[in-house]
Amino acid sequence: MRDVYVIGIGMTSFGELWESSLRDLFVEAALAALDDAGTDRLESMYIGCMSSGLFVGQEHIGPMMADYLGRTPIPATRIESACASGGAAVRLAYLEVTSGVSEVVLAGGVEKMTDGADVTAALSSAADQEYEVYHGVTFPGLYALMARAHMQRYGTTSEQLAQVAVKNHYHGAMNPKAQYPFEITVKQVLESSMVADPLRLLDCSPVTDGAAAVVLASEDVARSVNGKPLVRVRASAQATSTIALHNRAEITHLDAVEKAARTAYQLAGMAPDKINVTEVHDCFTIAELCVMEALGYAEPGQAAALVEAGETRLGGKLPINTSGGLKSKGHPVGASGVAQIVELTEQLRGTAGDRQVSGAKFGLAQNMGGTGASCTVHILEGLS
């Protein structure tokens, strides 16, 4: 095993992108990442995508994307792990470079969600079709169960959930690629339509088209290409839990997140208090709280207090989702895990503009699928 570096990043704007097809989105992000990397060398590609089959009737997107990127005959493989597809694609690109099989590998993520498919039904295919979805539950419903349980166990309030969304929109308002780059208030969240009690519209991440891509490379290549600050992958970890929420011992505890995080801390040789900037999978506001607790950023039930105290806001001790997160930046499901790495790389290069976390050296990205049945955690280090 050898060290792996992020040498290029790119992403489309996130939003309802009526004029761009699935392949257009991917190619735009991948070309931007290759341009940023400053090298034409590319030996393999992984593309995270949850459900191009159900969304636009297209499977087999690996060779399609290699084709439209003008990169055949290199290997190109689609990776699917629901909303953790992007993180899983990054992990596989990491494996291919660390193994010594390839020097330069692209990991991309893409989703085209607004082309007319039944989005709620397609997303539900990330839950257990036979034991959850069959009975009518949807993802807002599943996360609402987690939220209600969290409220009951720990006294978490709707106001505290709203503050997560408010904080992420505060960050997203500074991200020109965000789908909803504007601030919102707690009052607006609490007055938005109820989706699945206690989750309201503004507790939920949106439906989004978009793509993101990163280029990973060996140290030799990283030191020879674009002269940009080096960003090293310190840890790549992945874990699973039960597919169905009802099979977990405690539905407010994301055990796959905890397991992936522990593995990542061990691989990186560091405790969570070393992390300067974090991107987490805030598909719903409750998710951000549960993830913070599973990452060891807070004791169970204590995450909301950190959010209330402003600690997870830019300028706080542990800024989370400076990109705007899934809530404000948008959530093209297969792309979100890759977009997290894009944001962290900007932060660790010191090029995040208004969103820059001063002196950021270590960044952590947490991406999950379903109700947390799959999770990837990556830790990056800026060497500038």
The number of angstroms, rounded, from the C-alpha of 13 to the middle of its chain's C-alpha atoms is 15
**Residue 239 interacts with its own copies (CB under 8 A)?**
yes
Q: Is 83 assigned a catalytic role?
A: yes
**Residue 128 interacts with its own copies (CB under 8 A)?**
yes
Question: If binding means CB under 8 A, how many residues of this protein chain bind its own copies?
Answer: 63
- Binder among 72, 185, 224, 351 for its own copies (CB under 8 A): 72
Binding segment for its own copies among 80-88, 188-196, 277-285, 354-362 (CB under 8 A)?
80-88
Q: Which of the following is catalytic: 49, 331, 375, 378?
A: 331
User: What is the smallest separation between the CB atom of 168 and its own copies, expressed in angstroms?
Assistant: 24
Give the DSSP letter string of 166-225: HHHHHHHTT-TT-SS-S---HHHHHHSPEEETTEEGGGB----BEEEEEEEEEHHHHHHS
Q: How far is 294 from 169, CA to CA, in rounded Å?
A: 23
**Residue 235 interacts with its own copies (CB under 8 A)?**
no
DSSP 334: T
Q: Is 331 assigned a catalytic role?
A: yes
Among 127, 50, 66, smallest CA distance to 333 is for: 50
Q: Are 341 and 378 in contact (CB under 8 A)?
A: yes
- Binder among 25, 29, 126, 151 for its own copies (CB under 8 A): 126
Among 343, 333, 344, smallest CA distance to 368 is for: 333
Give the contact letters, 364-383, x = binds to its own copies (CB under 8 A), - = no: -----xx--xx---------
Give the contact letters, 251-270, x = binds to its own copies (CB under 8 A), - = no: ----xx--xx----------
Pull the structure tokens for residue 279.
């991107």
Strands 4-11 and 210-218: antiparallel
Q: How far is 13 from 15, CA to CA, in rounded Å?
A: 7
Q: Which of the following is catalytic: 83, 204, 290, 375?
A: 83
User: What is the smallest separation between the CB atom of 73 and its own copies, expressed in angstroms?
Assistant: 4
- Binder among 106, 213, 243, 335 for its own copies (CB under 8 A): 243
Q: How far is 215 from 236, CA to CA, in rounded Å?
A: 15
Give the contact letters, 37-66, x = binds to its own copies (CB under 8 A), - = no: -------x-----xx-xx-xxxxx-xxx-x
Q: How far is 177 from 175, CA to CA, in rounded Å?
A: 5
**Residue 293 interacts with its own copies (CB under 8 A)?**
no
Q: Which residue has the tokens 């297969």?
A: 334
Q: Are 111 and 53 in contact (CB under 8 A)?
A: no
Q: How far is 350 from 170, CA to CA, in rounded Å?
A: 20
Nearer to its own copies (CB atom), residue 56 or residue 225: 56
**Residue 1 interacts with its own copies (CB under 8 A)?**
yes
Q: What is the largest CA-CA distance in the chain?
A: 56
Binding segment for its own copies among 81-89, 188-196, 310-318, 323-331 (CB under 8 A)?
81-89
Binding site for its own copies (CB under 8 A): 1, 21, 44, 50-51, 53-54, 56-60, 62-64, 66-67, 71-82, 88, 91-92, 95-96, 98-101, 121-122, 125-130, 133, 238-244, 247, 255-256, 259-260, 369-370, 373-374
Residues designated catalytic:
83, 331
